[in-house]
Amino acid sequence: MNKFVKWGLPALTLGLLGWGWWLGLVWAPPDREMGDVQRIMYVHVPLQWMAMMAMFINFVAAVTYLLRQSWKTDALAEAAAEVGLLFGTLGMITGSIWGRPTWGVYWSWDPRLTSEAILLVAYTGYLVLRRFVEDPDKRAVWSAVVAIIGAVNLPIVWFSVRWWRSLHQTQSSPKTVDPQMVLPLRVAAFGMLGLMIVFLIHRYRIALSERNAEVALPEALPSDDPAQRASQSSKVA
């Protein structure tokens, strides 16, 4: 692992998160209606964005695996699904903490929340499937198929807020938000991106080592001379 990935990226991540959250907690003005409670947005929204991105990476890795088998894409798919599930779960928890004072409930059956819960269950199923199949080749193919089918749920999640009416606020574009809220959100989002990449890299390396331990890689093919072996097969008259 090169030095930047090992030390620079985590440091940058911590710096960005620290800066972004300082901006969010101290520098940005409180929300006109929600007050200080709204400041959880600087954690919640970046978490959700990064969960989406991780699951998109999982989808791309799964498609890539089916097109060209490689333990690298399989390991990346596994890493991305786990990191996505972690970020998504944290996003959901921060969301309900935000929801309690704002809507008066921790959980509402609003379409976007509901679809996100469905998505998280789907990815849990994906990870359970990975645990339940021993053969690494079969596991890689089947989980890639499940990832692709499950990823079709992603657009449904993302656009469901438009498809059904709900009490969840529609995604705000930066134009409608106070610029003093945009900056901390952006900084925190980049910090969270760094955090996701750090997690992803570490989890990917673990997954790849696991694959290497599970399978003798093609380089490890028995190396004796095959021609010699074949000529030994005896003839029976």
Partner 1 sequence: MRATRSVGLLTTTFVLLRKDLLIEWRTRARLNALIFFAMATLLLFSFALGPDTKLLERNAGGYLWLAILFASVLSLGESFRVETENACLDGVRLAPANARAIFLSKAVGNALLLLALGVVLVPVMVALYGVKIVTGFGDLAGILVLGCLALSAPGTVYAAISSNARARDVLLPLLLFPLVIPALLSAAKGTTLVLQGDPMHQLGSWQGLLLGFNLIYWGLGFVLFPRVIED
Partner 2 sequence: MPPPPSGSALALHDVSKRYGRRWAVARLTYALPPGRSLLLTGHNGSGKTTLLRLIATALSPTAGRVEVLGRDAVEDRDAVRRDVALLSHASFLYEDLTAHQNLMVLARLLGVDAAQDVADTLLTRVGLTRRTDSPVRSFSAGMRKRLAIARLLMKSPALALLDEPFGELDPAGIHDMEGVIAELKAGGTTVVLATHLIEQGLSLCEERLHLQDGRAVAA
* 147 and 139 Cβ atoms separated by less than 8 Å: no
Count Cβ atoms below 10 Å from residue 162 Cβ, excluding itself: 12
Coil vs helix vs strand at 31: strand
Task: Give CA–CA dist 70/64, Å, rounded.
Answer: 9
Q: Which does residue 215 bind out of partner 1, partner 2, none, counting CB within 5 to 8 angstroms by kind? A: partner 2
* 112 and 169 Cβ atoms separated by less than 8 Å: no
Q: Which does residue 34 bind out of partner 1, partner 2, none, counting CB within 5 to 8 angstroms by kind? A: none
Task: Give CA–CA dist 194/151, Å, rounded.
Answer: 23
Which pair of structure tokens corresponds to residue 97? 């903490």
Q: Which of 125, 174, 217, 226 binds partner 1 (CB under 8 A)?
A: 125
Helix (H) or strand (E) holding 58: helix 41-67
Does residue 154 interact with partner 1 by CB under 8 A? no
Q: Which of 29, 104, 155, 222 binds partner 2 (CB under 8 A)?
A: 222
Distances 226 to 207, 216, 219, 233 between C-alpha atoms, Å: 32, 18, 15, 11
Task: Give CA–CA dist 216/170, Å, rounded.
Answer: 50
- For partner 2, give the closer residue by CB, 33 or 224: 224
Q: Which of 19, 103, 107, 142 binds partner 1 (CB under 8 A)?
A: 142
Q: Which of 1, 26, 128, 220 binds partner 1 (CB under 8 A)?
A: 128
Q: Which of 6, 138, 162, 229 binds partner 1 (CB under 8 A)?
A: 138
Q: Tell me the closest approach of the beta carbon of residue 124 to partner 2, in angstroms.
A: 25
Contacting range for partner 2; rule: CB under 8 A; set: 9-17, 36-44, 143-151, 220-228: 220-228
Does residue 77 interact with partner 1 by CB under 8 A? no
* 21 and 188 Cβ atoms separated by less than 8 Å: yes
Amino acid type, 194? G
* 91 and 47 Cβ atoms separated by less than 8 Å: yes
Does residue 152 interact with partner 1 by CB under 8 A? yes
Q: Tell me the closest approach of the beta carbon of residue 222 to partner 2, in angstroms.
A: 5
Through-space distance between the first and last CA atoms of the chain, rounded to whole angstroms:
60
Does residue 134 interact with partner 1 by CB under 8 A? yes
Does residue 216 interact with partner 2 by CB under 8 A? yes
Residue 131-170 contact track with partner 2, rule CB under 8 A, x = bound: ---xxx----------------------------------
Residues 172-201 that bind partner 2 (CB under 8 A): none
* 99 and 133 Cβ atoms separated by less than 8 Å: no
Instruction: Summarize as ranges the residues that interact with partner 2 (CB under 8 A).
Output: 134-136, 214-216, 218, 221-222, 224, 226-227, 229-230, 232-237
